[in-house]
Structure 1
Amino acid sequence: MPMAAEEIEDLIRKAIPDAVVEITDLAGDGDHYAARVVAESFRGLPRVRQHQRVYEALGSRMGGALHALQLTTALPE
């Protein structure tokens, strides 16, 4: 069963409370999303660790309920 964009956003915000999250449904099927996650708490972390934090927030849903996620992380300007 596909995940709703709001559910993805909620999971990320629960794990990374200072995050600003933008979710885009890439295919209109609830299975392929792009996420842009901006958080001050990413400061000092390499990009790989930033992505790992987001994937940890989504847990076992990645590859299951959430088939594909195009991920961009950044620091606030």
Structure 2
Amino acid sequence: MVSLEQVETMIKQQLPDAHVKVEDLTGGGDHLQATVVSAAFEGQTRVKQHQMVYGALKDAMASEAIHALALKTYTPQAWKAIS
């Protein structure tokens, strides 16, 4: 199992400018939700944005340290529009 902080760090290593919030959805530490805001998502489809985040977490997901991950990805402009 990985900590929420470790997941955040892994995402930020791949997307250094990212604002990341990771939540444990079940209390067991293996079903997580991550909200990621990054300028790297500009011009990318939602699928590509999610692939970028999954790429950062591939080792943790392959080892099943993360069993399930719900993603919400936003460009900075899209984030401003909803917050």
TM-score (norm 1): 0.93
State the percentage of identical aligned residues.
46
Structure 2 runs not aligned, ≥5 long: none
Tell me the SS of whatever aligns to 1:36: strand
Cα displacement string for residues 23-60 of structure 1 (whole angstroms, at most 9, x for unaligned residues)? 11101111111000000110000000000000000013
- Unmatched 5+ stretches in structure 1: none
1:35 corresponding residue in structure 2: 34
Higher helix share: 2
- Give the number of aligned pairs: 76
Q: Which residue number corresponds to residue 68 of structure 1?
A: 68
> Secondary structure, in 3 states, of the residue corresponding to 2:43?
coil
Structure 1 residue runs of 4 or more that deviate by more than 3 Å after TM superposition: none
TM superposition score normalised by structure 2:
0.87
CA RMSD of aligned residues (A): 0.9
